[in-house]
Each structure stands twice: as C-alpha cells, then as structure tokens.
Amino acid sequence: MPIVTSIYAPTSYNTDDHIIPGETPDVVFTATDTPLEHTLEKSAKPSSYNGFKPKWMLNDAPHRFYQRVAKFFVVLPEQSRIAIWDSSVSTGEVNCVLVETNSKEHIANIICRLIIIYCKYQDRKKPKLSIKAVKPYTDEIATYIYDKHNPLEKEKFVHQSDDVINRKENDYFYRILIGFANYSKAKQRSNRST
C-alpha cells in the first residue's frame, strides 16, 4: 500500500521570483510512493547530464533547474516541508521518522520528492513523476549534499524564517541547493573549457 502524504504548494510562487508574502496555499498535491509513470526522453541516461536531460528538467541546465527548485522551496509552508521529511527520512518502520539524515539515500529521497512536487506545481495537467523516474538523476546532488552537509537536521530543514524579506538568506536548505547550483555551474564551465 502506498504511503500518501499531502503537500501544500504556495499559490504565490512563480519562476520570476515574484513572491507575494502572506498568501496561504490553496492547492494540495498528494505525493505517493507509487505515482503514475512519467516518460523520459528516449535518449535520457541516468546519472548523466552530458547532453542528456530528463524531460522534467525542461530546457534548463541543471544549475538553473536547481536554482528554480530552491526558490520554490523557500515558499513551501512548514506543513509541506514536514511531509517531505517524514516520507523521505525514516527507518522503514511504522511511525519511525529520524531527526537527521544518516545516508545518501535519505538525501536522494528528499530531493526526489521536492522535484516531484515542483514539477507537478509547474504543470498540473501532466501526470505526476515517480520516484523511480527521478531518482537516477539525483545521484550528483545527493552526493554533493551528503559530502558537504551531512547530516541534514529536520528542525533546520522544516523551519521557515519569519523574516519575509531575508527568507532566502536564512533558509538552511535553500542555501544548500544554491550551493549545489553554483557547484554545478562551475563544473559545467570547466567541462566546456577543457
């Protein structure tokens, strides 16, 4: 039986970073461990961005995609962050959610669920992505976060700053995602120069 988690998405988000503070979410997504399959491009190869990207990444370079995901994460309410964490970081036992990550798998699960919610929010008419379709593309970011920031702590992940003006700078996971986006951009530039 799939684990169902309700995810509340902000109605005031758009990719141009025009966020209207104080609006309450009125859209609810349900993330499950067995959603509809989402098709990938035939040429897509897991764990490789060298010319092959999954359809859900659209036309963005990986660093731009993760910058947009980071901006989206900033406006996610605490309820959604808790739901992402609770469905991603557990021991597998019933009602046993960990307070910090202890493996790269936990981090990959968090990233997968965040990407699924972001993509569904971008186009609600498309079928929901599955973890199976997203996970092969999260190895690089999961490794980066695991090496530089492990363990992630639930309290810091879930906490949303009350300071609306400086919310991005104060958001723990936003800074981690932007750090990966910058790392990915630098890596892409160095690959082009060689």
Q: Tens digit of pLDDT for each residue in 18-46?
A: 334 444 333 444 444 333 333 333 333 44
**Which pLDDT belongs to residue 53?**
60
pTM of this structure = 0.71
Consecutive H or E run containing 190: helix 172-193
Any residues with CB less than 8 A from the CB of 65 and at least 6 apart, and which? Answer: 57, 58
Residue scoring higher pLDDT (2 or 193): 193
Mean predicted confidence (pLDDT) in 130-144: 91
What are the structure tokens assigned to 193, written together?
A: 């120069």
What are the structure tokens assigned to 41, written together?
A: 């491009």
Kindly state the percentage of the chain with pLDDT values over 70. Answer: 64
**Which pLDDT belongs to residue 63?**
87
Q: Tens digit of pLDDT for each residue in 92-112?
A: 777 789 999 999 999 999 999
Residues 57, 24: Cα–Cα separation, whole Å: 27
Any residues with CB less than 8 A from the CB of 156 and at least 6 apart, and which? Answer: 172, 173
**Which pLDDT belongs to residue 94?**
76
Q: Which amino acid is at 135?
A: K
Say if residue 56's pLDDT is above 90.
Answer: no
- Only one residue has tokens 């902000």, namely 10
**Of 42-46, 85-89, 185-189, the least confident:** 42-46
